[in-house]
Amino acid sequence: EIVASVQAALGEGPLKGRHVIVTSGPTHEPIDPVRYIANRSSGTQGTAIAGALRDLGAKVTFVTGPASVPPPTGVEVVRVETARQMLSAVEAALPADIAVFAAAVADWRVDNAAGSKMKKDGTGRAPALEFAENPDILATVSKMATGRPALVIGFAAETDDVIANATAKRDRKGCDWIVANDVSPATGIMGGEENAVTLITAAGGEEWPRLPKDEVARRLAARIASVLGADV
């Protein structure tokens, strides 16, 4: 890792000259000024991936929601809160050679978010929330007609039928790889330090052993470099 960091500081490494966008963390979707809907994502895995790609010499734009871990050093950090802000930040960061969408983006936002704090009205009924579907960042970038990154990688946080759901997601979104993991509470992965992922590519699914998230990140970065790391 020291060798890699020195390489990166010198602008060397197999991903030298490559621009990578990494998204990370949760998004927060406001309900009113004091309430919001969030995802259980600490940003640990996305942060580790951004650091591992930096260590291989890539220029990294790190688009992060409100994560509980600090962003890596040596990358360009763009902080966002909502899914729509995250899509805008990704679009502004293009073009890129590689996009890794590790953020846990909210599928829905509250369409009737209030400008003032919602109050109990004495009826015991909650104010009705109306939801709108958020933009799909992974599908949007995967299906770009021009300027699509050469390698687009999505994540699938599943609780049931992990491989089947993730394979279907890869087809539906049009991305190249899916990094699938089982976030069932029993696994202790969500918010933990380890991850057990299955890499879904055109060739099928490849189960990785349970590893520290840093090691998952290094393996994924090495795999990316093996595909795209040839000198430009």
Nearest to residue 116, comparing CAs of 26, 35, 174? 35
Q: H/E element holding 211?
A: strand 211-212
Is 112 assigned a catalytic role?
A: no
Task: Find the binder of its own copies among 160, 203, 209, 230 (CB under 8 A).
Answer: 160
Q: Is 196 in the site for its own copies (CB under 8 A)?
A: no
List 39, 134, 181, 195, catalytic entry = 39
Q: Is 193 in the site for its own copies (CB under 8 A)?
A: no
Site map for its own copies, 99-118, x if CB under 8 A?
-----x-xxx-------xxx
Q: H/E element holding 162?
A: helix 162-173
Site map for its own copies, 16-35, x if CB under 8 A?
------------x--x-xxx
Q: Where are the beta strands (DSSP E) in 54-203?
A: 59-64, 76-79, 98-101, 108-110, 131-133, 151-158, 177-182, 194-195, 197-201
Task: Find the binder of its own copies among 24, 39, 45, 82 (CB under 8 A).
Answer: 39
Binders in 121-140 for its own copies, by CB under 8 A: 124-126, 129, 131-133
Site map for its own copies, 52-71, x if CB under 8 A?
----------------x---
Is the CB of 36 or the CB of 101 nearer to its own copies? Answer: 36
Q: Is 143 in the site for its own copies (CB under 8 A)?
A: no
